[in-house]
Each structure stands twice: as structure tokens, then as C-alpha cells.
Chain A
């Protein structure tokens, strides 16, 4: 099913062993996961893997010819970098096929302690050019880089022309409108950010406050992120997706709650030489992961085997539409309004 030489690897999220197995069964080529601590960028209660679960997940994936990637993509704490080093050791010991890393301290340790361990450069390392990727390649031997969701198609193509490193791009899921790894909005409001704690707009800081008349206020660390009328659908108060006032206009001043969906440009991504497509969403349910994986498996197989005949099937769009944040899709930086 994944044998076509030009087909990019489908890399799917797993916040649990159940999600990992469903992703593998639905056709993921690789599944990425994190440990139950601040060493990865989805450090949420009830999510992620302990050592035994990693071992079981690796065995399950390997038995079916698939890979397991371990996300170790936050920045080691100045007062206690030990958990990050321990996570590198764990990845090697538990048989992960690659580590997804962002911090040069972690990369240097991995190179020193486990030179055979394959390293992927996390999107949290914010490498937007072939020069940045070359830095991590030359000094730490990274073999793949995940591009931030900020480049246009032609910029992705330029990176591909100038690098020998495998390139992975985001295909589907929640959209960071900010350059990943360079956003301190969440820590500005709550003290916790993707870089320092592996979280953004953490649930522990969220308060829902009823208003007279049936409306509700969504607050993050006391800051009013959005206010919904009684009949309005409510979204999670991710800081950059709230409604704010700018010069008297109340609107989604930064970004609307939409999901990234690049199905429409998949053949172009493949033609350029993108080696892997990543699905966002380790915080999502196993059922979500399974559905998204199934659609993307079909899309990649279709685009790789018969690119000329490729089209986005209406049933794919319908299925993904139900799953999208705010039930809207965008091509993000690939699209005209961003330029």
C-alpha cells in the first residue's frame, strides 16, 4: 500500500497506545509520540506514553513494517536538563526509529551518547531556510527537517532545491499561525509555553464564566480571550484564536479557528520532493486519528500513483470537514491571503 517510490511517508500523531494502533491499522507509515512529561510539545494530562507503552507501540508498529518517532521537542530546562537526556536514552533503549528534536543541547547529547540514533529536526527548531537546516545537519547530523507552517509553496521548493536533508511538511490539523518555536504568547499570559513547558494555552489556565443572558466568557489566566453569545458555537480559548478589539473592530484579530488542510496541493508537494507529510494532533482522540489517517492514506496513494488524475475526493473533504477545528479549512501560508 505504501510501496510507490515517490509517495511521501504519512506521519501520524498518537497521544495513546490506542491511537498508535489505529493509526498503523489505517495506513500510517510512521507514528510519532511523546513521553508523559515536559520533554514534548503536547504535555497534557492523560496523554502520552510511559516506557512500557512505548515498547508495546514500537513492537506493534515494527511488526507491521511501520516506524515510531519520538517527539522530544521542547527546550531542556536550565536548572534540570536531565529529563531531556533521559528521554534521549529512553528513545534509544525502547527502539524508536528517530527522535524529533529542537534543542541543540539535546541534539549534542544525542550525537554524543547515541550516534546511531536518527534525528529529525522538529518544527519547534524554527528552521525556515536551507541555511538553517544545513547548520543542524553539519553539526548534529539531522536527517530530516520538519518545516514551519509559514513558507509558501515556492519557498518550500527553494528549500528542497538547496538541501540534501529529507523535508517533512504539515498536511493537516490545527494551525499554528505563529512560527513554531518562536512564540511566547502563551507564557506571556500563563507562564507556560510550547518551548518551556510543552503546552500552549494550557487547560489548567482556562475558565469558562457564564454571563447573564446565556452568554459565556472564555478566559485564559484571567484574560478575556473570547465571549460567546448564547447560541454561538464555542471554541477552545487558544490565545491567538480569540476575538479582540483593534482600533474599534472586534474580530479574530490574529487568526480564525481553522485547520490546515493541504490535500489540494498534495501532488505539487510530492513533485517537489517532500519526503513526509505530518498530521497534527497528538491531543486528539484515537477515532480522530484513525479517520484522518485513512483519508490521507487514500490521498497519498492516489496522488503518488496517478498524479495526473488526482483530485480531492468530495468524501475526503466531507470527512475531514467534520473533524476540523471550527469546521473550516485553510491552506495557511500556501494560500493567497497570507502573502
Chain B
């Protein structure tokens, strides 16, 4: 199993988070071919949102993982965030037992299965770690890296890491934020369909289905059973705060438009000494409706956008 416990001194590693939308297979394949050529250090693969999505089976994800590993990327396989059925648990066990790539636990079921196998794993953003003693517990069971919940402020991350990081910290730094999960599929509901006869309508929404307030302000995005922010998290100008908080990695969440340009922009600012101004202009230009946000990082409402 390839696992990176500690990150290189100085470099803020870049992780491409799991693809949260349902893209046609060709689109997905060409997306990851571009990611393979990008400066990203780590790529998280797998279906996190919906068990009904079937374009990629585990074998397909593993094949893609090998390609990306061959291109020099660390690959992590993520489990589904909401595990409900026996079938979900079987998929989870197969991911946990594959042994070839590290696994990101997206819920406590996965933590339990992985800990039982003696595997070391990444603690994904949907596992509730809000304090150092909580992180200590999960490290005890094998967590080798953690992604704080999106709503956790960098000041709180700093408190967790005070006295020395227990494990490397990866902060969600770019993309529409995963805010909630439900048993109910809101995309299917919008189309007046039941979840088990959804016609896979979420395939039409490359960056989710926009939800606006009655006065026309983009607010949220429906992505099947997941609800996301319409605004894109954008911490490209928060390098100092990230470093002060003890973050050694950032997570960039896949978007359908010019995503590898976003990777390049983050890498130049975080690791190349470039000024953030040009990067911000680019990210602003390529962001879907909803604009940019950095409120959570600053302990404010997540939707807020403060220009540093």
C-alpha cells in the first residue's frame, strides 16, 4: 500500500478531491488524463455521493488509479459518504480490502472496517472532527491524515494542531462545498421522479443543479442526495492562514470548467511564490454562478467572501 504519512517540508501539497458529480465516462476519463499532467500531488477517486451512479465500477476506478499512480500521483480511494444498505456495506468492504491504494473514510462505518483491517486511512471531511482530542481518537484507530469538516474555521484547525500536528492536515480550499447529505435525492425530486427511478438525471448537471433564492441570488446546488454551496470555496489568498493553522495540503474539488488551470493557479501561489491577484482573477472568471467564498475559513458564515 502506498501511503504518504508526512508531507514534504515547505510544499503545500495539492489533492484533487473526489469527483462529486455524475459525468459521462468519456468526460471523466479525459478529465483525469488532464489531472495526470497537472502539478497535483494526490488524487482521490471513487463515488462518494450516490450508489446508483454506475458509469464507473470499482474495477474501473482501480484501473484509473493505476494509471494515475503510473503518472506519479499518490492515489486515494474514497468510500461513499452515506452508507445505508447492505449493498453499500459490501462496496465499502471491497474498497477497504483492495490493499493496493490508501482509502479515505467518508463515514464511521468505513473507519470501523478499515481499523478492523489494521489499515491506515485518510479521515475525510464528512467525519466530524472538531477538536484535537477527537482527532486523537481517530489517529488511535489508524487515521494518517485528516480533512477537517468544511465548516471548521482555520482558527479551530490551528487549535487542533497546536502542540504539533498529530497527522497532516488537508483543508478544503477550492470548489463548491459539500454541505449536507440526505436520504432523499433532490435532483430526482426536482424532476418529480423517485430516487430508484431517477433516470440518472444528475448526469445533466456537470456542476450540480443551481438553486436560487426567490430574488434570483444563487444560493445552493443540488447534486443528488448531496447539497452543496453555489459559491466556490476559494482559499488561494489564505496561504499565510493555512500555514499558521498547520495545513500542509489543500483539497481542490473537481469542476467541469478549466479545472487544471485552477490547480496550476493554486500551485503557483502556494508553492511558486506568485502573487495571488492573477490567480484570483482567473478563479473568479472560471467559477460557475454563485461567486467565491472564504467565510468558513475565517469563522464567518460560509457564504461570505472577504477579499484578504
Interface string of A203-246 (1 = CB under 8 A from B): 00000000000000000010111110000000000001001111
Give complex CA distance A250, B134 in Å: 42
Q: Are B82 and A196 in contact (CB under 8 A)?
A: no
Given contacts A183-B180, A185-B227, A190-B301, contact A224 B217 (CB under 8 A): yes
**Does A337 have its Cβ within 8 Å of any Cβ on chain B?**
yes
Q: Are B131 and A131 in contact (CB under 8 A)?
A: no
Interface residues of A in 323-339 (CB under 8 A from B): 332-333, 336-339
Give A80-109 interface residues, CB cut-off 8 Å to B: 81, 102-105, 108-109
Is the Cβ of A196 less than 8 Å from the Cβ of B130?
A: yes
A184/B108 in contact, CB under 8 A: no
Beta-carbon contacts of B206-239 to A below 8 Å, as 1s and 0s?
A: 0001111111110110100001010000000000
Tell me the complex Cα distance, A306–B36, Å: 64
Query: A247 vs B189: C-alpha distance in the bound complex, in angstroms?
Result: 13
Chain B residues, Cβ within 8 Å of A225: 213
Query: Contact flags (1/0) for A175-218 with B, using CB distance below 8 Å?
Result: 00111011111011111010110000000000000000000000
- Whether A333 contacts B130 by the Cβ 8 Å rule is no
Smallest CB-CB separation from A338: which chain B residue?
B184
Number of interface residues of A (CB under 8 A): 69
> Which one of B128, B150, B156, B186 contacts A254 once the chains associate, using CB atoms below 8 Å?
B186
Tell me, yes or no, whether A151 is within 8 Å of chain B by CB.
Answer: yes
Query: Is B211 a contact partner of A253 (Cβ separation < 8 A)?
Result: yes
Chain B residues near A77 (CB, 8 Å)?
130-131, 156
Number of B residues with CB within 8 Å of any CB on chain A: 70
B216 / chain A contacts, CB cutoff of 8 Å: 245
Closest A residue to B190 using CB positions: A246
Q: Does A165 contact B (CB under 8 A)?
A: no
Task: Kindly identify, within residues 25 to 78 of chain B, every residue whose CB is under 8 Å from any CB belonging to chain A.
Answer: none
Within 8 A of A (CB), among B78-111: 81-86, 88-89, 92, 107-109, 111
Min CB distance B141 to A, Å, is 7
Q: Which of B271-308 contact A (CB under 8 A)?
A: 295-296, 299-303
Q: Among residues 131 to 151 in chain B, which have CB atoms less than 8 Å away from a CB atom of chain A?
A: 131-134, 136-138, 141, 149-151
Given known contacts A108-B137, A132-B109, A246 and B210 CB-to-CB distance under 8 angstroms: yes
> Do A78 and B132 have beta carbons less than 8 Å apart?
yes
Which residues of chain A are within 8 angstroms of B227 by Cβ–Cβ distance?
Answer: 178, 185, 240, 254
Tell me if A103 and B182 are in contact (CB < 8 A).
no
Nearest CB in chain B: distance from A339 CB, A: 5
A189 to B227, CA, bound (A): 13
Given A125-B108, A245-B214, A182 contacting B130 (CB threshold 8 A): no
B209 neighbours in A (Cβ, 8 Å)? 246-247
The verdict on B126 contacting chain A, using a C-beta distance below 8 Å, is yes
Complex Cα–Cα for A75 and B136 (A): 14
A195:B151 contact, CB within 8 angstroms? yes
Contact partner of B82 (CB less than 8 A), chosen from A128, A158, A188, A221, is: A128
User: Are B151 and A188 neighbours in the complex by a CB distance under 8 Å?
Assistant: yes
B196 interfacial contact with A, CB 8 Å: yes
Q: A interface vs B, CB < 8 Å?
A: 75-79, 81, 102-105, 108-109, 125-129, 131-132, 134-136, 138-139, 149-152, 155, 158, 177-179, 181-185, 187-191, 193, 195-196, 221, 223-227, 240, 243-247, 249-250, 253-255, 332-333, 336-339
Additional A-B contacts beyond A81-B131, A182-B82, A246-B209 (5; CB < 8 A) = A75-B130, A128-B83, A135-B115, A191-B302, A336-B194
Q: Can you list 7 contacts pairing A with B, beta carbon distance less than 8 Å?
A: A78-B156, A128-B109, A131-B113, A150-B183, A223-B213, A246-B209, A246-B211
Which residues of chain B have a CB within 8 Å of any CB of chain A? 81-86, 88-89, 92, 107-109, 111-113, 115, 126, 128, 130-134, 136-138, 141, 149-152, 155-157, 159-160, 177, 179-184, 186, 189-190, 194-196, 209-217, 219-220, 222, 227, 229, 295-296, 299-303
